[in-house]
Chain A
């Protein structure tokens, strides 16, 4: 069965089992490998993408459920929030192993899009679903804050 949706502003049609999680379609079929597998049960956030601008766990999102919708992955993430987040990530050298960081960046960007001046608590709440086993949390907090401040200009 085929499903058609937009990924990073390009229309894609895939012919896969409709139950297939979006994560595996992105990775196996579209080779957008920046979106990571971490748990498969929406516990870790490594697979976070945006669907119509909102963070979504692609590992539990059946591809059939996003017919006609707009998916943004880390590869297609752009705009002032994304730029600010990536710059702040570099400023604090946030990643360690880096495997969870696509998901962290996706979630952080979505947070800043709705709240450019997040408090520590706002940051903790928004990013509580994104596990980092390296525990880069101290730097994530600083970087998200700095990104928000940079956007204020």
Chain B
């Protein structure tokens, strides 16, 4: 009994419907489970209907409205968020709304922020969907009304629609969406559907129950790891201990003696063990003896890598942002202040390690179940390995146990490995490739180790007259589909948050050195802002203090062009009662960071206990435009704070003297636990601006807010992260 063969009753009920309204292209109403790929591509069954150029809504005769979500749901709320937009414009009843992932098809589901690529990241889901999904809902609404008008033979203008019910008062007739689904399917979609004005919103800005909460407290939510196919083999791969090493030779005699092991094969990334079940695969992998060729491997320690970058950062690099004359500004300053920061490699460590299931489809293509975050890239990578066209790789995007950037791989390395193990086993037997936590911690694609060097100058009045910032780190975009983000030696993901700062400084220069290594790196929740936010917000705090200025007032005075951030800062200050004395042994610290066009300010109340900062309270104000789902926004701020805090307090991934990773699991790469989570208050700034994302922007301010409080307690800003390293040294 595989979970995929037993959808929940409610789902089964609507998926077996044979007719109904489909806004989109060729969407047969037959399918299963929580991904749309099966229903869209799964053969001829069901009533196929081709419609207008959006592919986001299905209405079945049993009155359920299914919204196809083009962004992966791994906790940041796109299922609920994008469905809210549709439900509002349709005037649907929230209880009739279901969500499922859209299939992998960039021609329909590309992320407008990424170009012709379907994917999720950069906190873009809501920003790129706000109009699109509302229009889809509004079009469906218009077609339902037209269908009712035709059926009842009354003018469309006399038909009202509310909570999923169409009604005509004069003739006392009413009907639900399901009843008109078939008739609506014959209507012409409006070219430019009329959108509601904000005063007409019924769900946007209010709170609706999240669509995935129920299934996630009963064990019914299906993740990739939960997919079992007939005769499926479980596969684990022995990877090299050092980045850039390759298999030289291996001895699998002992491993093959483990019962239920089926095969052992070399692939490009290591040695793959195929078994009938997970435990056999894990046991056999332990028994493998692999010799590695380390000639091209990173054999330096992370300390040595840091030193190289520290040296680089002593001189300016490629200019990322500039105004005035930095040299004149520094020369004219009466006081200068310098600081060097070392940010370690960080692991994303989502709760569900990477995994994928692949099987051969009867039409010769392959079907994939995977928490794919960049479907288009993963599809291409798998197609290449399998000798197929990308369209023959049908990805069922699965609910995933977190990502924080890890599943968005510009080089699709994991998708490639999954396809390789599938082909290595003959390309016919279904396989599940599973990474363990050790594979995850040691598997690379880390937040790059990054060094910042800052120099600031103050004049006699204590005003900041010069700001120089030099960054040295690794670029993970070179050679990927996102290479265009590197211009003139500047990788924008390395300098975002530092190439432009929210503070008016007359002489300003930020530059960057790209220093590469075989250690693989990747964007990590909030990307460049994970380090630029920390460096900028702790350094400005120190300069303001040296200039005799208050941390909040001083910031506000310099935020002329950044009024939305100033608004968030002022709100956070009001929430925390900034200016009041902290309780004994406690201190407050503040930080404000714009990231991904959202504006977040946080104030942390901190004490030091046993050499570790203890964060008691965090006050957080966020301006992300129209607040579509306020509770989702609050939850993302809370979660971003916890995620950022974990890293800033505890986390570093280090390489030993020989280049091998020193951590392996949650015992030595520890995660924030519930007892370390502060109380968090979140307020959302009312706004009529278009909505922007919240998945990442909660992260950047927490580190510097805590650091600024720590400086008030200890006199020192932690500059070698994580903080426990500096405080316990």
Binds A, one of B20-28, B217-225, B590-598: B217-225
Residue of B nearest to A21 (CB): B279
Known: A39-B666, A131-B351, A136-B638. 14 other contacts (CB 8 A): A17-B283, A19-B279, A19-B283, A33-B219, A38-B351, A44-B437, A93-B213, A93-B632, A95-B75, A97-B402, A98-B399, A99-B400, A133-B349, A135-B640
Residue of A nearest to B440 (CB): A39
The residues of A that contact B641 with a CB separation of less than 8 Å are: 135
A37 beta carbon closer than 8 Å to chain B: yes
Query: Are A29 and B277 in contact, with the CB atoms below 8 A?
Result: yes
Question: A86-B217, A99-B402 are known contacts. Are A131 and B679 too (CB-CB below 8 A)?
Answer: no
Query: Are A44 and B680 in contact, with the CB atoms below 8 A?
Result: no
Q: Mark B351-377, 1 if CB is under 8 A from A, else 0.
A: 111000000000000000000000000
Would you list the 4 A-B pairs with minimal beta carbon distance, nearest first? Answer: A34-B219, A135-B642, A99-B401, A96-B75
A110 beta carbon closer than 8 Å to chain B: no
B674 beta carbon closer than 8 Å to chain A: yes
Query: Are A96 and B639 in contact, with the CB atoms below 8 A?
Result: yes
A 9-41 contacts with B by CB, 8 A: 16-17, 19-21, 24, 27-29, 31-41
Q: Which of A89, A90, A95, A125 has the most CB of B within 10 A?
A: A95
Inter-chain CA distance A133–B436, complex, in Å, is 16
What are 20 A-B pairs at a CB distance below 8 A? A32-B219, A34-B218, A34-B220, A35-B219, A37-B278, A38-B666, A85-B217, A89-B217, A90-B209, A90-B214, A93-B632, A94-B213, A97-B75, A97-B400, A97-B403, A99-B351, A128-B675, A135-B646, A141-B674, A141-B677
Inter-chain CA distance A29–B632, complex, in Å, is 37
8 Å CB contact of A40 from B223, B437, B645: B437
User: Closest CB of chain A to B108's CB: distance in Å?
Assistant: 25
A132 beta carbon closer than 8 Å to chain B: yes
8 Å CB contact of A97 from B74, B228, B438: B74
A 111-153 contacts with B by CB, 8 A: 123-125, 127-141
Query: Are B666 and A37 in contact, with the CB atoms below 8 A?
Result: no
Query: Are A128 and B209 in contact, with the CB atoms below 8 A?
Result: no
A74 beta carbon closer than 8 Å to chain B: yes
Inter-chain CA distance A35–B220, complex, in Å, is 10
B 606-661 contacts with A by CB, 8 A: 631-632, 635, 638-643, 645-646
The residues of A that contact B666 with a CB separation of less than 8 Å are: 38-39, 41, 43-44, 131
Inter-chain CA distance A68–B133, complex, in Å, is 54
Query: Are B437 and A39 in contact, with the CB atoms below 8 A?
Result: yes
B 567-622 contacts with A by CB, 8 A: none
The residues of A that contact B210 with a CB separation of less than 8 Å are: 93, 95
Residue of B nearest to A141 (CB): B674
Query: Are A17 and B401 in contact, with the CB atoms below 8 A?
Result: no
Q: Which positions in B face A, CB cutoff 8 Å?
A: 1-3, 74-77, 209-210, 212-223, 225-226, 228, 234, 259, 277-280, 283, 349-353, 399-404, 436-438, 631-632, 635, 638-643, 645-646, 665-667, 671-675, 677, 679-680
User: Closest CB of chain B to A66's CB: distance in Å?
Assistant: 15
- Number of A residues with CB within 8 Å of any CB on chain B: 59
Query: Are B351 and A28 in contact, with the CB atoms below 8 A?
Result: no
The residues of B that contact A105 with a CB separation of less than 8 Å are: 217
A73 beta carbon closer than 8 Å to chain B: yes
Query: Are B277 and A138 in contact, with the CB atoms below 8 A?
Result: no
Q: Mark A68-98, 1 if CB is under 8 A from B, else 0.
A: 0000011100000000011001100111111
Query: Are B217 and A134 in contact, with the CB atoms below 8 A?
Result: no
A101 beta carbon closer than 8 Å to chain B: yes
A46 beta carbon closer than 8 Å to chain B: yes
Q: Which of B3, B219, B222, B680 has the most CB of A within 10 A?
A: B219
Question: A99-B352, A100-B351, A141-B674 are known contacts. Are A134 and B219 too (CB-CB below 8 A)?
Answer: no
Query: Are B638 and A139 in contact, with the CB atoms below 8 A?
Result: yes
8 Å CB contact of B352 from A17, A36, A140: A36
A58 beta carbon closer than 8 Å to chain B: no
Query: Are A135 and B672 in contact, with the CB atoms below 8 A?
Result: yes
Query: Are B217 and A133 in contact, with the CB atoms below 8 A?
Result: no
User: Closest CB of chain A to B514's CB: distance in Å?
Assistant: 29
